[in-house]
Amino acid sequence: MTLRPPVADWTSDWDHLDPSWLSDPYPIWRNLRETCPVAHTGRYRGVYFPTHYGDIREIAYDPEHFSSRRVVVREGDYRVNSPPITSDPPDHRPLRMALIPPFTPQAVAKLENQTRIVCGELIDAIIAKGTCDGAVDYAQHIPVRVIAHMLGIPATDGDRFRNWITMALQDGITNEALLKQAESEIAAYFSEQIKLRREQLGDDLVSFLIRARLPNGDPFSDHQVLGALRLLLVAGIDTTWSAIGSAIWHLATVPADRERLVSEPKLLPIAIEELLRAYAPVTMAREIVDDVAVGGCPMKRGQMVLLSFPAANRDPDKFPDADRVVIDRKENPHVAFGLGIHRCIGSNLARMEMRVAMEEWLKRIPDFRLDPTRSMTWSQGTVRGPRLLPILFG
Ligand code: HEM
């Protein structure tokens, strides 16, 4: 974590990398929502931070004023190009549509068995060791191994994926050199995979992308296949790992919810939606391409907006008792997977991985709590989730 000047005033000088935001952002957001619903900071060359559900929704549905050509608030000018997440209409839709088939509910159902095997193996190792870190020994491996299986590459390459993701999404926010290094290593790795599949196509995601056609009938170029693979890696791994980690953290700290889910496993899908609402991991950003006003606040062209789906999920005007986790919440139209044209393509996969991960964990490790003698940490940046999550069990 870098040392940054302390925040002087959350309404006019906020910093999403400030230690208090990283450890517990919710009281800060609640206070802003009540006093200054669209906060601003001069840091990062100017960024607005709306906290009301309605304002966040309005921005997500207005790509004319709010472009996805910059989706991360970071130091420096470097822009990552990973369409469709970094593209705007009209370029956005053809690429998005081409990526959807591997993530339909039917396609995802075929991965459930493999996901259960992955979770079972991880839990075998945890039980054999007698102690564990819920993030390091469990959550972080699940999406990596599932995506490695989808891509038809060895699960052992997963460690490299995790390093690249940490370099790109965490450390890369303040260190451009690391971000570029991650990008070039990902490009080298996947270029080799694309070359191999061009020689012999298989039944995997890389081969699917090589076979895929854009609406005009053209195949993806190698550059486009590479971009799509990089996006799936970056969008699909630490998001789900963070969501699983937050679910374990919540149940480790709220015994009543843990006990209820152990005795009522059928409640798990509903509880997962609530955990996604309360601990939504992904905060995106947009670049303002034309002067505009949102929530009565004028916004200047060239600056950015932090598009906090997690803050929208905590708006009490939309979700009664929003700061409380109600694991059997009935009405729950949360926006953890975003809103508008960029809404998450991988939501079926993420939900399945979360459900299976928690089903297997609760079945085999029903009694667990945080280990108060070891430190617990949260990630910084676009994706929020536990990175160290020491657990005692049994
Ligand atoms: C709990 C896990 C996940 C969460 C919370 C999540 C959240 C999000 C959010 C909020 C967006 C909208 C981005 C924006 O508006 O700029 C998004 C987009 C996207 N997600 Fe996810 N995601 C998750 C898992 C996944 C997985 C597993 C995959 C695929 C392997 C995936 C692939 C994508 C892609 C490709 C987009 C871009 C869609 C577009 O631009 O049209 N995500 N995700």
Q: What pLDDT, on the 0 to 100 scale, is given for residue 1?
A: 47
Which domains can be identified in the chain, with CATH numbers? 19-393 (1.10.630.10)
Judge if the beta carbon of residue 38 lies within 6 A of ligand 1: no
* pTM summary value: 0.96
Judge if the beta carbon of residue 342 lies within 6 A of ligand 1: yes
Q: Is residue 209 a contact partner of residue 220, using CB atoms and an 8 Å limit?
A: yes
Contacts of residue 354, defined as CB under 8 A and 6 or more positions apart, other chains included, come to 240, 243, 244, 247, 272, 275, 276
Query: Which tokens hold the place of 382?
Result: 């676009």
Angle between helices 238-253 and 255-263 (to 10 degrees): 100
Q: What is the largest CA-CA distance in the chain?
A: 60
DSSP conformation class of 156:
G
Judge if the beta carbon of residue 71 lies within 6 A of ligand 1: yes
Q: What pLDDT, on the 0 to 100 scale, is given for residue 338?
A: 98
Which tens digit of pLDDT belongs to each residue from 171-200? 777 888 888 898 899 999 999 999 999 999
Residue 294 forms beta bridges with which residues?
A: 297
In the reported structure, the alpha carbon of residue 280 is separated from the centroid of ligand 1 by a whole-number distance in angstroms of 12
Query: Helical H runs in the chain?
Result: 19-23, 26-35, 53-60, 92-99, 105-109, 112-129, 141-151, 158-165, 176-199, 205-211, 222-236, 238-253, 255-263, 268-278, 309-312, 347-364
For each of the chain's 394 residues, which pLDDT tens digit applies? Answer: 456 899 989 999 999 999 999 999 999 999 999 999 999 999 999 999 999 999 999 999 999 999 999 999 988 777 778 889 999 999 999 999 999 999 999 999 999 999 999 999 999 999 999 999 999 999 999 999 999 999 998 888 887 888 888 887 777 778 888 888 988 999 999 999 999 999 999 999 999 999 998 888 899 988 889 989 989 988 999 999 999 999 999 999 999 999 999 999 999 999 999 999 999 999 999 999 999 999 999 999 999 999 999 999 999 999 999 999 999 999 999 999 999 999 999 999 999 999 999 999 999 999 999 999 999 999 988 999 999 999 999 8
Pocket probe mutation, ligand 1, options 69, 97, 231, 344, max atoms within 8 Å of Cβ = 344
In the reported structure, the alpha carbon of residue 289 is separated from the centroid of ligand 1 by a whole-number distance in angstroms of 23
Residue 293 is which amino acid? A
Query: Which tokens hold the place of 175?
Result: 């260190």
Pocket probe mutation, ligand 1, options 57, 59, 91, 239, max atoms within 8 Å of Cβ = 239
Q: How many secondary structure helices (H) and strands (E) does the chain include?
A: 16, 12
Atom of ligand 1 nearest to the CA of 351: 1
Task: State whether residue 321 is helix, strand or coil.
Answer: coil
